[in-house]
Every structure is written in C-alpha cells, then in structure tokens.
Structure 1
C-alpha cells in the first residue's frame, strides 16, 4: 500500500454509505460475463439519459456544435448511443480497478506496440497522448499491460471515491500523480516512463492556454503538451482505446510519434492535437465524453454556448 493511502475504516461514517453502495454495485457488475456487462451498461446509460437532465442537455448542445451537418433525429440517436456508452464506462472503470490481468488480456487486441517500445529503448520515455473517451480508464489499464506507465489524474472531491480511484490506478501504473504536478510529469519522462496524458478538456485561461478551434468552434485549449515534450525531451505518441461492437471487446491503437513535435508555436501544436482528436472522435463519436462543457467561453468576452447549463449553483448562506 502506498504511504499516502488512507485506511478504508476511516470512511465508515453514514455520509459515505451511498458511495459504498455504489461501489459495491459496480464491483458486482465487474464479476458478470462481458456480454451481460454490455446489456447492463446500456440499461444504466438509458436510465441516466432520462434522469440526468443537465448532463443530457450539455451533451446535446455539444453534439449540436460539433456535428451541425447532422439533422435533429440523427443527433438524438447519437445522444442515446453516447449515454449507453457512458453507462458501460462505469462498469469499465470498475474493471480497470478490480478485473484480473488475465481477463483484461482476453478482452483487448493491441496494435502499434512497437512505437512505445522504441521510445523506451531510446531512454526518453514518452507522452502517451489520448482524449477523454468513455473508455478512458480502461484504456490506461490496457496500456499498462504492455508497457510501464505513469498516469496523471484529476482528484475527486469525495475523499472515499478519491482513495478507491487512486488505489485502482496505482494497481497497474508505476505511479499516479495529480494533473497539476508538473514536476512529477517531467521527472517521470526523464526516468524513461510512459506517461498517460489527456489534454483535451476545456482549459482555464493561463500560461498554458489558448483559444483554438475544436470541431470548428473556438474553445479554450491546453497548450502544455508542447512544454512537457520539450522539457522531458520525450516523443508524443497518440493512443486510442476503442470499444468494438457487440461482444468484440476492445482495440488499443498506438500510433506513430508525432513528427516535428513540438514546433515553434504551442498554439499550432494544440490545433494539431485537436485535429487529430477530431479525426479519432469521428470514428466512434458516441465514445467521446460529450457531457463535459468542452466549449466553455474563452474569457469574459467569449461566446457562451451553454447559457445556465453546467454552471455551479451558489450555495445558500446558512441561517
């Protein structure tokens, strides 16, 4: 156990009981055969489509912005398939944490492993670049089955869920560190690690941020990939996990390193990454994470595509 682990008995207070119940349900779903998991995932997703109104509205708006060429009926169908994919992603996250290595190996076919092996042989590690797909966590677990990996992650607000999530990721990764720990990122690259990295969610304005088109819509975008690659002297290798139809399992595609990366302009590098992500998203659009406000306003003068959707409600002052 990591020295930073918190004993689970500290999370026995009643306020954690709903989280324990949810985790127990997911743990049971992990034990099901894969075909039954696909059915359960669809049921979970269709239930969320009905009740998660705010997330449904955000996803619908994202699909409207990203795919204006689709008519309303086609976007509704894509929205339904997206929520089914989200439902399956809950089970896949549990598989990432609790499934055996043997079961993971049976479910995935890997292509392009030679690109990661070449980076390790060169001794500079690599930034394993991907996007926020619904197969996000399981894709990282797949990668650790074929190469040593460190992972960046966003801390969860619930302490119990954060502890379970961290333990699950550290089960397969050499180390897991929060996405704001830049020094840990560079240190991992310089010690010949592969570092899992997904820079595509909406990014707050700052040193490593620019307004770059994503699906033709100006969006605040993370430009730190260029700096990480330069400081770590590491190649950027895109990889994408894809959930196959039916009971086909998954395909992990590792692409060749980006050529001439980083360039002289971080904004141009970020646009290049966005174009790559767009190409991959179009291959399986239902598997991208559309419930996130990807097209948030770029500063006070930016266009607000969502109106009140997704804005945090102000807490009422206590009496």
Structure 2
C-alpha cells in the first residue's frame, strides 16, 4: 500500500476540492473516466482484483469494463457533491420511501458500492428531512485526524448527519431509528474483525457486517434498498429504491446472508457501475 508523505496536508486537498467543485458535472466525469483508466493501467493488484471479483459474479471483462471509468468518475464527482451547487436528481420508487416513513418504525437504507452512494443520502436528506427528520449515515473515519475532520465537515449538511463506525455511532443510529428517522449504510463494506460473519457473496464467503441486520432486527425498522445511478454526459443521477425480495429473516445469520443476496440483486441491475476493484474478500483488520 502506498503511504502518504508525512507532510501531507488535508487542507491542500480541501482547497483543491473547492477549486473544482464548480466545474460542470460532465467535465468532472470526463476527467474521472481518464483517471479511472490510468489507475487501472498503473496497478497490477487493482487489475487482478477487478478481474477476479467480476468473473466470480459471472461477468466477462467486456461486460464490466465500463466500471473502470465509473470508479474514476466517483472520485472526481465528490468535490461537486460536497462543495458545489446541487446536481440534477430524479427518483424511482418514492412510494416505497413514503410507505416506510408512514410506518413510523424508522427506515434503514441499504446500498452496495454501486453507482454514486454519496448522492443517495443527499437526495433522501433534501427530499424528506423537513417532514421526517435527518438521515444518519454510517461512515468510517479517516485514520489521519485532520483529514477525518475535513471529510466529516464536508459531508455535514442540512438534513444529513454522520455516525462513525464506533459504539457511539451505533447508538446514534439506534436512537435515530427509534425516533422514526432514517439511517443509511453500505452492508458490503468489510467490517473490523469481530463485527461480521463469513457469508456467501457471489458464491464465495466474504466477511460481512452484521450491523445492518442487527439494526433491523433490534428496532423493527423498515428496510429499503437504494442506489444512485450515474447518468450519461453529466446529466445527474437517478435514485432507485427497491423493497426486499422477501421479508427479512428473523435470525441474525440468515438475515445477514439475505442482505448479501439483496446487494447482489442490486449490483446485477447495473454491474457497469459497481466497484469491482473493492477488496470485498479481504481478511478483516483487527480491532473494532
């Protein structure tokens, strides 16, 4: 793994993000596509992991090669989403969200590393916070304290709160759900050792977080699947909402396995925008 130089200054990155945050989304995506391919060409490890993960799911390279450019677009669209003017967003499935909020049990939004997952939380916050309160999103703080502060402040906005991957963060999410609010998390993110189960994902065991299932089972909240499709030529995003294919299992292990299957189902909707280079099958790091 490449180490950052000791004189790395996160505020330099912040200044660069602010500088490009006003660029047109189409331009940012064009730059990102080029950077995505450069990263793929420069890293044998990335190329190998990309090929292994996508073939494990049954996709030949020709079917998912577009995901290389989309990984770069994800990086370059972030400044616009954090600091720039609003981007166009359309919705599919708002009736599911309305019904989930109406149940008044809280809502757990689940999304894999698919498309633009930053836009999903922003879109929920913008559309629903005035009537139903903020959405609380789980995130893993950066290891460098100064960088963590920058990222956290960038993500904070009206109707959107963040919860770190700590016990305090979990309590924050439970409190939000019990107040009838929403939380969001990526259940295909590899958790620290002791916070997951080895469960099949595209046919191979992957260390999978139990938090999503625990939140749902403990609070009785309504689960919804959500992902943000990146539209062509910088035309914005489409937020897709889906219900579970069947009611959530009542026990932890089958519920975790079921959520994995639901993540697979979403990914198969648009495998060209999934992060196939993500280390989904890595051994978890020690320490919670």
Note whether the superposition's TM-score is higher than 0.5. Answer: yes
How many angstroms apart in 2 are the aligned matches of 1:50 and 1:27?
Answer: 28
Contact 2:121/2:184 (<8 A) preserved: yes
Contact 1:116/1:147 (<8 A) preserved: no
Matched, 1:266 2:252: yes
Q: 1:126 to 1:182 in 2, by over 3 A?
A: same
Alignment partner, residue 131 of structure 1: 112
How many angstroms apart in 2 are the aligned matches of 1:257 and 1:219?
Answer: 21
Contact 2:244/2:262 (<8 A) preserved: no
Alignment partner, residue 283 of structure 1: 269
Bigger RCO of structures 1 and 2 (CA < 8 A, at least 6 apart): 2
Contact 2:163/2:170 (<8 A) preserved: no
How many angstroms apart in 2 are the aligned matches of 1:257 and 1:188?
Answer: 22
1:176 to 159, 162, 166: 162
Alignment partner, residue 100 of structure 2: 119
How many angstroms apart in 1 are the aligned matches of 2:82 and 2:246?
Answer: 34
Matched, 1:253 2:240: yes
Contact 1:97/1:165 (<8 A) preserved: no
How far the C-alpha of 1:155 sits from its partner, in A, is 0.6
Describe the superposition over 1:34-75 as per-residue Cα deviations: whole angstroms up to 9, x where unpaired. Answer: 2222211112212222334433333233223233x52xx527
Describe the superposition over 1:290-317 as per-residue Cα deviations: whole angstroms up to 9, x where unpaired. Answer: 222212359xxxxxxxxxxxx9xxxxxx
How many angstroms apart in 2 are the aligned matches of 1:155 and 1:129?
Answer: 19
Describe the superposition over 1:68-102 as per-residue Cα deviations: whole angstroms up to 9, x where unpaired. Answer: x52xx527xx34x22311211112222221123xx
Q: 1:255 to 1:134 in 2, by over 3 A?
A: closer
Provide the secondary structure at the position in 1 that maps to 2:118.
Answer: helix
Unaligned runs of 5+ in 2: 1-5, 130-134
How many angstroms apart in 1 are the aligned matches of 2:84 and 2:158?
Answer: 11
Bigger radius of gyration among the two: 1
Q: 1:193 to 1:31 in 2, by over 3 A?
A: same
How many angstroms apart in 2 are the aligned matches of 1:244 and 1:35?
Answer: 10
Give me the CA root mean square deviation: 2.6
Unaligned runs of 5+ in 1: 1-13, 299-310, 312-319
Alignment partner, residue 48 of structure 2: 57
How many angstroms apart in 2 are the aligned matches of 1:173 and 1:162?
Answer: 20
